[in-house]
Amino acid sequence: MGSTSLEMASRFVDRSPFNRWLGMSVLEAGEQGIVIGIPWREELVSSPEARSTHGGILASLVDAAGDYAVALQVGHPVPTMDMHVDYHRVATPGSLRAEGQVVHLGKRFATAQARVLDMDGRLIASGRGLYLLRSPQAAGSQDTSAAGGPGA
Amino acid sequence: MGSTSLEMASRFVDRSPFNRWLGMSVLEAGEQGIVIGIPWREELVSSPEARSTHGGILASLVDAAGDYAVALQVGHPVPTMDMHVDYHRVATPGSLRAEGQVVHLGKRFATAQARVLDMDGRLIASGRGLYLLRSPQAAGSQDTSAAGGPGA
Amino acid sequence: MGSTSLEMASRFVDRSPFNRWLGMSVLEAGEQGIVIGIPWREELVSSPEARSTHGGILASLVDAAGDYAVALQVGHPVPTMDMHVDYHRVATPGSLRAEGQVVHLGKRFATAQARVLDMDGRLIASGRGLYLLRSPQAAGSQDTSAAGGPGA
Amino acid sequence: MGSTSLEMASRFVDRSPFNRWLGMSVLEAGEQGIVIGIPWREELVSSPEARSTHGGILASLVDAAGDYAVALQVGHPVPTMDMHVDYHRVATPGSLRAEGQVVHLGKRFATAQARVLDMDGRLIASGRGLYLLRSPQAAGSQDTSAAGGPGA
């Protein structure tokens, strides 16, 4: 994994105000995929009793890891068309890392998968997303069908 | 939709630090489902050029609307087992609302669906979640397979 | 729901050898969506003890009901890009019906949802699919990212 | 991959009338997962022009490969709770193989992923399923929320 990929991925990550709020950083980046991380912060909590990390935060990590794995291959972040997330275990307070990998890179669409792990390497969540690689029309269309992700 | 349901749902929503950061409020709540809303804030932005709301935020709204729709029927928020989100349109700065409805309420699991709309009533995202109603073991298990959602 | 829509949908359904093997017929078709049905046959069984209908058959019904709901609006069956199916209840031997509805019709993509019911009106499965409306390139591309559905 | 795993998986596969109609066989089975295959047959066709394999057939392969990957670890097929399938490429007439792997094996639920490949090794579809490992109640419940898959 080269420093160029890491630098490129870091630029993509840093552009997003939500990523910056999450404190997201790129830990590894290369041909094999990407690893991103976020530190703990109190606002990530879903249930105050369980002290669990909110499912929307875990979904954000799945989306981002998948998106930037694709971005490393196409040179820019890509709009997310849809996403599926499985929650395996409660994530209690602590930093999280997410590993993203491209499953299929087509001409117009890409599918990527991601795993979210806690500090002890336990699998917290996993999932996959479908990403739009390029548009037949000019960007900024009202009908992207691809509105949510890091590259939107 | 009665005030009791609205009050109950508001209590569930207010418990979560992430919901409070989002400024989430309950707009409607009853037998038919729930409507929640969030105001705009700059940290929700994904792409600074498109000024788009981050897909993880939209996923959080789908998860929450589905979860609290179930919660209104079972009396408490429920852990999310998995979630699917479709992104239909870029959400530019502005408040968002999410409508949640129960699709199937079983003895142990529930499925709910949700739609996210912008201020002009345009459909931004939609999706569905699977929720765990009760556990054969004591709560707090390491193996809930249901860790992400508002009720986790 | 007009006879024209019913006839058009029936033509789409009848074109597919797999649909014909399933004995699929169109029960209702119109602006509101579509209702398709299949009779029972022994080869649909998954577990011989439970006498349950195979999940792949239920997935086929979700996909088809969603696809033909879109087809009624765009004039032809459409390739499925991806699909999510929730299984709610074991379907024991008997005919099944599936109701499909368009969730969002964009310029290039459509999302539809579907419910599968048994003869007693009980909800067996439900789900949603993403469909490709038109291609920027000539059809027959190796890279449709949209290969599975009734319109592929 | 031992012959015992292969024999056990083959017994699971052969029990199902739908699998037998598909001509499904187990090609590999072991700790790492499972590989199943099906031959071509005319009734698998979705569109007569594209000669494409129906999305419901591909979904059946994803479901089965995921289910039997879990079954190899728990000793019996398991009910599918939900499933997500991405379609990457049209599958033209020819035999197909599906590789299944366990993503997470919990106490009560398991998540597995699968890839469907054509004879030339091209990725046709991929996806993931959530499976129910054991029930707090007696089997045969009306409310399994897990009705579709090979083990239902």
Start-to-end CA span in chain C (Å):
26
Length of chain B: 152
How far is Cα B88 from Cα C106, in angstroms, rounded to an integer? 8
Give the length of chain A.
152
For residue B151, give the chain A residue with the closest CA. Answer: A47
List the structure tokens of B104: 């199937």
How far CA D39 is from CA of B113, C116, D59, D119, in Å, comes to 37, 28, 16, 10
**Cβ–Cβ < 8 Å for C126, C113:** yes
**How far is residue C57 from each of residues C36, C61, C118, measured CA to CA in Å?**
13, 6, 13
Q: Which of residues 6-35 of B touch A (CB under 8 A)?
A: 15-18, 20-21
Chain B residues inside the 8 Å CB shell of D136: 108, 136
Q: Which of C45, C60, C146 sits opposite D87 (nearest CB)?
A: C146
Return residues 122-141 of B near C (CB < 8 Å).
123, 126, 128, 130
pLDDT band at C90; cut points 50, 70, 90 = very high
Confidence of residue A143 (pLDDT cuts 50, 70, 90): very low
Mean pLDDT of the region D123-151: 66
Q: Is B97 an 8 Å CB contact of chain C?
A: no
Nearest CA distance, D7 vs chain A (angstrom): 30
The owner of tokens 């669990």 is A52
Place of tokens 């709020």: A21
Work out the mean pLDDT of chain D and round it to a whole number: 90
How much is the pLDDT for D146? 45
Coil, helix or strand for C3?
Answer: helix
What percentage of chain D reaches a pLDDT higher than 90?
Answer: 82
pLDDT value of position A148: 59
Q: Taking CA atoms, what residue in C is nearest to D76?
A: C47
DSSP state of B83: E
Residues of A with Cβ-Cβ distance to D90 under 8 angstroms: none
Task: Give A61 to chain D, closest Cα distance, Å.
Answer: 17
Q: Contact at 8 Å (CB) between C73 and C102?
A: yes
Of the candidates C86, C104, C106, the beta carbon closest to that of B128 is on C86
Residue B99 tokens, joined: 């409508």
**Chain Cα centroid distance, residue D14:** 13
Asked if A151 and B60 come within 8 Å (Cβ–Cβ), the reply is no
Quick check: B145 contacting D, CB < 8 Å? Answer: yes
> What global pTM score does this model have?
0.91
pLDDT in tens, C18-35: 999 999 999 999 989 999
Is-contact B81 B106, C-beta < 8 A? no
Q: In the structure encoding, which two tokens stand for residue D15, read together?
A: 């029990």
Q: Is D48 on the interface with A (CB under 8 A)?
A: no
The residue-averaged pLDDT of B100-119 equals 97
Using only C-alpha atoms, chain B has a radius of gyration, in whole angstroms, of 15
**CA D64, D121, D84, C49: dihedral to nearest 10 degrees?**
-10
Chain D: closest CA distance from residue B131 (Å) = 11
**CA B63, chain centre distance (Å):** 4
Cβ proximity of C2 and C10 under 8 Å: no
**How close is the nearest chain B Cα to the Cα of D12, in Å?**
25
Q: What is the pLDDT of residues B120-141, one digit of tens each?
A: 999 999 999 999 997 544 333 3
**How close is the nearest chain A Cα to the Cα of C42, in Å?**
33
Contacts of D17 in chain C (CB under 8 A): 42-46, 48
**pLDDT score recorded for residue C20:** 98
Q: How far is residue B62 from each of residues A46, B18, B112, C148, measured CA to CA in Å? A: 14, 14, 9, 27
Which of chain A's residues have a Cβ under 8 Å away from the Cβ of D88? 104, 106, 111
CB contact under 8 A, D82 and B107: no
Residue C89 and residue C122 in contact, taking contact as beta carbons nearer than 8 Å: yes
Residue D69 has pLDDT above 70, yes or no: yes
pLDDT of residue D149: 57
Amino acid D144: pLDDT: 41
> Given a cut of 50, is residue D141 above it in pLDDT?
no
C94-150 pLDDT per residue, tens: 999 999 999 999 999 999 999 999 999 999 999 999 999 975 443 333 334 345 556
Residue C78 touches chain D, beta carbons under 8 Å: no
Cβ separation of A106 and D123 shorter than 8 Å? no
Q: Which residue of A has its CA nearest to B76?
A: A47
Q: Which residue has the tokens 């009779």?
A: C39
Rounded percentage of chain B residues whose pLDDT exceeds 70: 86
C63 and D53 within 8 Å at the Cβ level: the answer is no
Beta-carbon pairs below 8 A across chains B and C: 37
Q: Round to whole Å and give the CA distance between C63 and C51.
A: 23
What integer pLDDT is reported at residue B134 of this predicted model?
77
Contacts of C84 in chain A (CB under 8 A): 84
Instruction: Give the Cα separation of C80 and C23 in Å (integer).
Output: 21
CA distance C31 to B13: 37
Burial readout C8-33 (b: 16 or more C-beta within 10 A, e: otherwise): bbbebbebbbbbebbebbbebbeeeb
Which residue on chain A is closest to C104 by alpha carbon?
A: A145
The whole-number pLDDT of residue B31 equals 87
Min Cα distance A28 → chain D (Å) is: 22
Subunits close to B (at least 3 CB pairs below 8 A): A, C, D
Alpha carbon of D58: minimum distance to chain B alpha carbons (Å): 19
Residue D21 has pLDDT above 60, yes or no: yes
Mean pLDDT of B106-114: 97
- Residues of chain A contacting B148 with CB distance shorter than 8 Å: 46, 52-56, 58-59, 85, 87, 91, 125
Whether the complex's predicted ipTM is more than 0.85 is answered with yes
Mean pLDDT for chain C overall: 90
pLDDT in tens, C55-86: 999 999 999 999 999 999 999 999 999 999 99
- A:B CB pairs within 8 Å: 208
Contact C141, C152 (CB under 8 A): no
Chain A within 8 Å of C84 (Cβ-Cβ)? yes
pLDDT digits (tens, 9 = 90+) for B5-46: 999 999 999 999 999 999 999 999 998 999 999 999 999 999
Q: Residue A130: its chain C contacts at CB < 8 A?
A: 81-82, 130, 145
Residue type (1 letter), D122: R
Chain C residues near residue A145 by CB distance under 8 angstroms: 104, 106, 108-109, 130
Does residue D140 have a pLDDT over 50?
no
Partner-chain residue, chosen from C104, C113, C123, that has the shortest CB–CB distance to B123? C104
Closest C-alpha among A141, A46, B42 to residue C136:
A141
pLDDT in the model for residue A31:
87
Question: What residue type is A22 in one-letter code?
Answer: L
Q: Contact A152/B50, CB-based, under 8 Å? A: yes
